[in-house]
Amino acid sequence: MTRDLVIGLDSSTTAAKAIAWDRDGNALAEGRAGIALSNPQAGWFEQEAEDWRRSAETAIREVLVKVKPERVAAIAISNQRESFAQFDAAGSPLRPGTLWLDERGRSEIERLAQLIGRSEIHRISGKPVDLTPCLYRCAWFDAHMPEMWRRTARTAEVHGVLIHHLTGEWVTSTASADPMGLLDMAAQDWSDTLLDAVGLSRAQLPRLMRPGQKIAALSEGAAKATGLPRDCIVVAGGGDGQCAGSGANVFEKGRAYLNLGTAVVSGSFGEAYAHDPAFRTMTAIAETGYIYESCLRTGTFLVNWLVEQLFNIDPVKNPQIFRTLEAEAQQSPIGSNGLALVPYWSGSMTPYWDPHARGVIAGLTASHRRGDVYRALLEGVALEQAMVTDRIGRVTQPIDHFVAIGGGAASDLWCQIIADASGRKVLRSTTVEASSLGAAAAAATGAGWYPTVTEAARNMTGDLTRTFTPDSRSHARYAELSAIYADLWPSLSKWNARMAAFAQGTN
């Protein structure tokens, strides 16, 4: 039988999704399995590493009920980033894996920043000093769980853990390793400087391979557990953010993908290594190059929060509420009748890198209605994205359009506001599962269907269903608003720090 399918396995924070794709980028079957998350104490977010394996195997088996296993040529993984676990010499987990949501490394941020230097950490890793990378949890383990840390024979992120289960080898992709914050991005190798600072050695980490490279065939045990053929090729994939970029064909000139999901993540592609506070530098799901990535922690998460917590509406019982709010927001003018919302409900990453940042709704009067507040939220995200994209374009190369993916991309109003605020076209993608498709493009390359991942992405990515073009008058009005908005957070940041300290009882 012809090997005419590849599987993109997307192991996210809440579930593993295995999707079978053909060489034209058509999704033919899907399997899914949830992943439990625990919050054993404030700021700790964990999952069992075995659950990463079990959910992946379940999702793959479900796909193979719908398509014949012998059709599958290769599999590659897209995974939740900055989540990792520790293992003993026999490969057994020493403790639960910690997730990108985990905050226990907060106490180590300043110590590492002083030990290595903020600018040096940024230069080496491509990531400004921030809570999210595994680097700071490594330092926490070194300081607070030294016995466990010394017993760690291997530590690996989700991609490395799943590759080990599939092949028996400790190997991972540079595009999954680099979000950990332990990689020398220019060299595409583990950084001895960063490893030494947190008590790690290269022997404890997986071997690195570039996305799209063949790692190995399935092990006998993995073939039995998943139902995949023994000679199915396992190919290096990478982090879900970069995979989404490949799934949106970020390689087109002037393009940035824009994932309007729980968080708002955008990225553009370039061959040259660059670093700047406006973005995190990530390894692209491609043979060469980088993704210059901006991230706003609260996107559709904030939309849901506003509806449930501020408006006191249950969207499950009232699923039409979002359509109603959009209609109300449509009646509010640019600038939401003098209302501004700074969407830092979960701190600020790009461009301020302030984990203590808090959200702001400014300019409220008794005349404001909920449509104004809702529009202010959409505008706040759009203004943030326009501001950071302008800066990324100046540092790297010009960006003239976005390809919108994620749940929020279904909103015509939000897409148009982003187009008007940024002065860039917004093209809505038909690709729903962009991360899985990006991994599938890597798998298709490893299977020999295409010579490069970039060629695979160009041939496998979906159509663009609609284009939102900036209105010149609206863009001019947003330019005025942007100048006002840009001054708001710098003016409030010191006050915010005092308020955050007060709330924590430290001032």
How does pLDDT run across 72-92, given as a tens digit for each residue? 999 999 999 999 999 999 999
Question: Token pair of 383, please?
Answer: 């203004």
Tell me how far apart the alpha carbons of residues 90 and 153 are, in angstroms, rounded to a whole number. 8
pLDDT for residue 30 is more than 90: yes
CA–CA separation, 351 vs 493, rounded Å? 13
User: How high is the mean pLDDT of the chain?
Assistant: 95
**SS3 label, residue 443:** helix
Closest CA to 3 of 77, 56, 69: 69
Residues 6 or more apart from 504 whose CB is under 8 A from it? none
Q: Are 363 and 383 in contact (CB under 8 A)?
A: no
Residue type, 321: I
pLDDT at 506 over 80: no
Please give the average per-residue pLDDT across 420-430, as a whole number: 95
Give the CA radius of gyration of the chain. Answer: 22
Q: Write the CB contacts of 325 (distance below 8 Å, at least 6 apart in sequence).
A: 307, 370, 371, 374
pLDDT at 203 over 90: yes
- What are the residues whose beta carbons fall under 8 Å from the beta carbon of 291, sequence distance 6 or more? 241, 242, 245, 250, 267, 268, 269, 281, 282, 283, 284
281, 476 contact by CB (below 8 A): no
Pick the closest to residue 277 from 392, 381, 438, 154 (CA basis): 392
Helix runs in 262-411, H state only: 300-305, 321-330, 370-395
- Adjacent-strand bridge partners of 30: 19
| Predicted local distance difference test score (pLDDT) of residue 328 | 97
Tell me the percentage of the chain whose pLDDT exceeds 70: 99
Beta carbons within 10 angstroms of residue 102's beta carbon = 23
Total count of residues recorded for the chain: 507
Of 397, 402, 401, 384, the residue nearest 478 (C-alpha): 384
Is residue 76 within 8 A of residue 19, CB to CB? The reply is no
Cis peptide before 351 (omega within 30 of 0): yes
Q: Is it the case that residue 463 has pLDDT exceeding 80? A: no
* CA gap 137, 139 in Å, rounded: 5
Q: Quote the pLDDT of residue 500.
A: 84
pTM of this structure: 0.94
pLDDT for the residue 2: 85
pLDDT, mean of residues 472-498: 95
Average pLDDT score over residue span 219-232: 97
- Please state, in angstroms and rounded to a whole number, the distance separating the CA atoms of residues 283 and 239: 9
Q: What is the pLDDT of residue 155?
A: 98
pLDDT the model gives residue 262:
86
Using alpha carbons, list the distances in angstroms from residue 386 to 45, 128, 381, 416: 32, 20, 9, 13
331: Cβ contacts below 8 Å, ≥ 6 apart: 371
Q: Tell me how far apart the alpha carbons of residues 283 and 285 are, in angstroms, rounded to a whole number.
A: 7
Distances (CA, A) of 95 to 38, 50, 141, 152, 236: 13, 11, 11, 10, 26
Residues 438 and 448: their CA atoms lie apart, in Å, by: 16
Using the predicted structure, report yes or no on whether residue 397 has a pLDDT greater than 60: yes
**Cβ(440)–Cβ(8) under 8 Å?**
yes
Residue 468 has pLDDT above 70, yes or no: yes
**Mean pLDDT computed over 244-266:** 94
Alpha carbon of residue 204 to chain centroid: 25
Report residue 133 as tokens: 């990378």
Q: Report whether pLDDT(363) > 60.
A: yes
- Residue 338 CA to residue 287 CA, distance in Å, equals 48
Residue 117: pLDDT above 80?
yes
- The residues pairing with 255 across neighbouring beta strands, listed in sequence order, are 401
Residue 156, classed as helix, strand or coil, is strand
- Is pLDDT above 90 for 356? no
Determine the pLDDT at residue 1.
64
pLDDT of 507 over the 60 cut: no
**Residues 499 and 358 sit within 8 Å (Cβ to Cβ):** yes
Q: What is the mean pLDDT of residues 95-100?
A: 96
From residue 244, alpha-carbon distances to 80, 197, 384 in Å are 12, 32, 21
User: pLDDT at position 420, please?
Assistant: 98
Cβ atoms < 10 Å from Cβ of 358: 17
How many helices (H) and strands (E) are present in the chain, helices listed first? 17, 23
Q: What is the pLDDT of residue 464?
A: 78
* CA distances for 255 relative to 154, 241, 268, 270, 425, angstroms: 38, 15, 6, 11, 10
Integer Cα distance of 425 and 401 in angstroms:
5
- Tell me which residue of 131, 387, 441 sits closest to 279, measured CA to CA: 387
Handedness of CA 236, 241, 247, 248 (dihedral sign): negative
Neighbours of 394 (CB within 10 A): 12
CA atoms within 13 A on the CB side of 387: 25
